[in-house]
C-alpha cells in the first residue's frame, strides 16, 4: 500500500484534514473529520472498555500474578510548573536539532540521513569535480530523495544520474565528525548546517494577565504526571487497594522539531495511559503482565502479527530509573523496509515518579536515586513535601509503590488501524465487469459506520421502508442512509470507508418483508427478515 493513497482517501472521505488548511495549514497539527472522529472515538472507547470498564477485579486476568483494580482520571492540560521540574521534563525533555544557516530551516538531528557522492558540478563558470554528503529527512524512498538532491546540487539532468559516484551506504549525519561538506536537506550550498543544539519540547504558556516569569507554565507533554499528582487523592477518595491502575485519555503537546509522517509525529496528539501501582517485590511480574496484555490488545483489534513487534529496550536505552521497557511497534508503510515505528511504550518506572513528587527531582548516584542538589546544597527542584507512600493495612507495611506505565498514542493507534485496513482488490460492478475496489477492512468494533441502508430505487415505497429501517438501526449502531445514484456505486462508497454491512430494501421487501444484507469483505448477500436485522447485525459485529 502506498501511503499517498491512504492520505488521499483520508482527505477525500473526511477522516483527516490538515489543521487550519484554509490558511495554508499548520505543520504538525491535524483535524479529524466526520469519519475520523468516529474511528478515533472507537479506538479510545475500545481501549477504555477493555482496560478499565470490562476489567473484573474479582478474578485474576490470564497471565496476571493476582487480581487488581482499575479506575480512571481526567486531569488538566496545564498543571503547576513544579510538576514538570520534578518529573524531569523541564531539564531533560530535549531533542537535538541542527539549523541550516542558508535556508533558516531546523531539523531533528537524529532524523537527517545522507550519503557521500562525487561528480562534476556544473556552475555558471564551468565545471569542477566535487564530493559532498547529500542529505534528506528519513523518507519512504530515501535513495530517490538523495538522487534528486544530488542532481540539483551538481546541476545535472536525470539522464546524467549514472555520472555520479555514490560511496558507502546511507548513514545518519550523527555518524559524521564534521558538517563541512554536508549539503543540508533543502540547501544549495554545502557546509551550512550548525552543530546540534538542545531544544526543549514543551510548549510554554503564561497563566493570568500579568504574565511574569513566575507565571510561565507548560502544556503537558504526557498525561502521566496528572495521575502521579493525584495518586493520594485517588487512594483517599476510593477504596482502591494496591495493586491498582489509574487510566487516563487526553491531549498532550510536544513541540516536535520535525513533525511528519502524517499524524505519526504531531505536535498536538492524544495519549491513552495507565499508571499501575504495585508492591516493589511484585513489579517485575506486573511489568511482564502489562507488556504482554497490551501487545495482545493490538493483535485482537486486528493488527497483523508480522507487522507488529514487541521490542525490549537494551540496558543502555533504559531511563535511569527503569528496570525494563518494551516498545510495541508497527511496520508503518511510510518507514523503510524492515523499520518499525513506536505505537506504545510499556515501562517499569520503579518509584521514581512518586518519590520525585515527594522529595524533589531525583538523579541516579551509583545505584541509588537521590535528590539532585545545587552547588549550595539546596535541592535543584523542590518536591511537594507531601507523603505519597502507601500503607497496606493487611500486611501493616508502608512503602512507595512501584509503577508500570503502558503509554499508548491514540493517533498512532488510529493511523496503524487505518494502514492495516487499507485493501485493494477487483470486484465485479453492476454489469459484471471487473473494477478496482478500494476498501477499509477494520475490526468491526473500530469501523466508523457499522451499517448503511439503501432503497434500491427512489420509488414504490422503498425509500419509506428504508427510512424506517434506518431509524431503527440508528438506535443501536452508527448507521448511514443513502439513496443517491446507482446502488453499485453506493456499495463502493461504503466499502471505501469500511462499512461492514449494507442493507438494501428492494421490490421483494415490500412483498415479503425481507431485505438483503451485503458483507463488504466477502461481497455475499443474504436475505433477512426486517425485524431480525438488529439481532443479525449484533451477532455479526460481535
Q: Nearest distance from residue 221's CB to ligand ATP, in Å?
A: 8
Which SS3 state, helix, strand or coil, does residue 505 take?
strand
Residue closer to ligand ATP, measured from CB, 136 or 414: 414
CA–CA separation, 121 and 100 (whole Å): 22
Q: Provide, rounded to whole angstroms, the least separation between the CB of residue 407 and ligand ATP.
A: 4
CB of 521 to ligand ATP, least distance (A): 28
DSSP-based three-state secondary structure for 174: helix
Minimum CB separation of residue 264 from ligand ATP in Å reads 6
DSSP states of 315-350: GGGS-TT-SEEEEEEE--TTSPTT--EEEEEEEEEE
CB of 518 to ligand ATP, least distance (A): 36
The cell for 303 is: 493488527
Q: Which is nearer to ligand ATP, 96 or 166 (CB)?
A: 96
Question: Grid coordinates standing for 336?
Answer: 523503510
CA angle at 380 for the pair 376 and 381, rounded to the nearest 5°: 145
* CB proximity list for 177: less than 8 A, separation 6 or greater: none
Nearest alpha carbon to residue 112 among 99, 125, 122: 99
- Identify which of residues 332 and 439 has a Cβ nearer to ligand ATP in the complex: 332
Min dist CB 312 to ligand ATP, Å, is 14
Residue given cell 504558556 in the structure block: 205
C-beta closer to ligand ATP: residue 30 or 179: 30
Residue 329 or residue 359: which is nearer to ligand ATP going by CB? 329
Residue 242 has which C-alpha cell? 494496591
Minimum distance of ligand ATP from residue 433's CB (angstroms): 42
Chain residue at closest Cβ approach to ligand ATP: 409
Tell me which residue of 524, 530, 539 sits closest to 467, measured CA to CA: 530
Of residues 47 and 454, the one with the C-beta less far from ligand ATP:
47
Q: Nearest Cα to 455, choosing from 480, 501, 498, 487?
A: 487
The residue (of 47 and 289) whose beta carbon lies closer to ligand ATP is 47
Number of H helices, E strands in the chain: 14, 29
Residues contributing to the site for ligand ATP (CB under 6 A): 222, 254, 256, 265-266, 269, 271, 342-345, 407-409, 411-412
Amino acid at each position: 500500500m502506498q501511503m499517498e493513497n491512504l492520505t488521499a482517501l483520508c482527505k477525500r472521505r473526511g477522516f483527516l484534514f490538515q489543521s487550519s488548511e484554509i490558511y495554508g495549514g499548520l505543520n504538525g497539527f491535524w483535524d479529524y473529520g466526520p469519519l475520523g472522529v468516529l474511528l478515533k472515538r472507537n479506538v479510545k472507547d475500545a481501549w477504555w472498555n477493555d482496560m478499565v470498564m470490562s476489567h473484573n477485579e474479582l478474578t485474576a486476568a490470564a497471565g496476571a500474578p493476582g487480581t487488581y483494580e482499575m479506575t480512571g482520571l481526567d486531569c488538566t492540560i496545564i498543571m503547576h510548573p513544579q510538576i514538570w521540574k520534578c518529573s524531569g521534563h523541564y531539564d531533560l525533555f530535549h531533542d537535538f536539532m541542527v539549523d541550516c544557516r542558508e535556508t533558516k530551516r531546523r531539523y531533528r538531528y537524529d532524523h537527517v540521513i545522507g550519503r557521500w557522492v562525487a561528480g562534476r558540478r556544473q556552475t555558471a563558470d564551468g565545471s569542477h569535480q566535487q564530493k559532498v554528503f547529500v542529505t534528506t529527512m528519513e523518507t519512504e524512498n530515501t535513495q530517490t530523495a538523495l538522487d534528486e538532491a544530488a542532481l540539483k546540487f551538481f546541476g545535472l539532468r536525470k539522464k546524467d544520474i549514472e555520472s555520479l559516484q555514490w560511496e558507502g551506504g546511507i548513514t545518519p549525519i550523527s555518524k559524521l565528525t564534521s558538517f563541512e561538506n554536508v549539503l543540508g536537506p533543502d540547501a544549495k550550498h554545502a557546509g551550512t548546517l550548525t552543530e546540534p543544539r538542545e531544544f526543549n519540547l514543551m510548549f510554554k504558556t503564561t497563566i493570568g494577565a500579568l504574565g511574569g516569569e513566575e507565571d510561565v507554565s507548560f502544556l503537558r507533554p504526557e498525561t502521566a504526571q496528572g495521575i502521579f499528582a493525584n495518586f493520594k487523592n485517588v487512594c483517599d477518595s476510593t477504596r482502591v487497594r494496591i495493586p491498582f491502575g489509574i487510566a487516563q485519555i487526553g491531549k498532550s503537546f510536544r513541540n516536535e522539531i520535525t513533525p511528519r509522517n502524517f499524524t505519526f509525529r504531531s505536535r498536538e496528539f492524544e495519549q491513552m495511559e495507565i499508571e499501575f501501582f504495585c508492591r516493589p517485590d511484585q513489579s517485575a511480574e506486573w511489568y511482564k503482565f502489562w507488556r504482554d496484555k497490551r501487545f495482545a490488545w493490538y493483535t485482537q483489534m486486528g493488527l497483523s502479527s508480522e507487522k507488529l513487534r514487541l521490542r525490549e529496550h537494551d540496558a543502555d536505552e533504559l531511563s535511569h530509573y527503569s528496570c525494563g521497557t518494551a516498545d510495541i511497534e508497527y511496520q508503518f508503510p511510510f518507514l523503510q523496509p524492515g523499520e518499525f515505528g513506536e505505537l506504545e511504550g510499556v515501562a517499569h518506572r520503579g518509584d521514581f515518579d512518586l518519590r520525585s513528587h515527594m522529595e524533589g527531582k531525583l538523579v541516579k548516584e551509583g545505584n541509588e536515586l537521590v535528590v539532585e542538589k545545587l552547588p549550595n546544597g539546596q535541592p535543584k527542584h523542590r518536591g511537594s513535601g507531601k507523603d505519597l507512600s502507601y500503607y497496606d493495612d493487611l500486611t501493616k507495611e508502608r512503602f512507595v509503590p512501584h509503577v508500570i506505565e503502558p503509554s499508548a498514542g491514540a493517533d498512532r493507534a488510529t493511523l496503524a488501524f487505518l494502514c492495516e485496513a487499507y485493501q485493494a482488490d477487483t470486484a465485479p460492478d453492476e454489469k459484471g465487469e471487473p473494477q478496482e475496489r478500494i476498501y477499509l477492512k477494520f475490526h468491526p468494533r473500530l469501523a466508523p459506520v457499522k451499517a448503511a441502508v439503501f432503497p434500491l430505487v427512489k420509488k414504490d415505497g422503498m425509500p419509506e421502508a428504508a427510512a424506517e429501517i434506518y431509524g431503527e438501526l440508528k438506535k443501536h449502531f452508527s448507521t448511514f442512509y443513502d439513496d443517491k445514484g446507482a446502488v453499485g456505486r453506493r456499495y463502493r462508497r461504503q466499502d471505501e470507508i469500511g462499512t461492514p454491512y449494507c442493507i438494501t430494501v428492494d421490490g421483494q421487501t415490500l412483498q415479503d418483508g425481507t431485505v438483503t444484507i451485503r458483507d463488504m469483505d466477502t461481497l455475499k448477500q443474504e436475505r433477512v427478515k426486517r425485524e431480525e436485522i438488529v439481532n443479525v447485525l449484533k451477532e455479526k459485529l460481535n
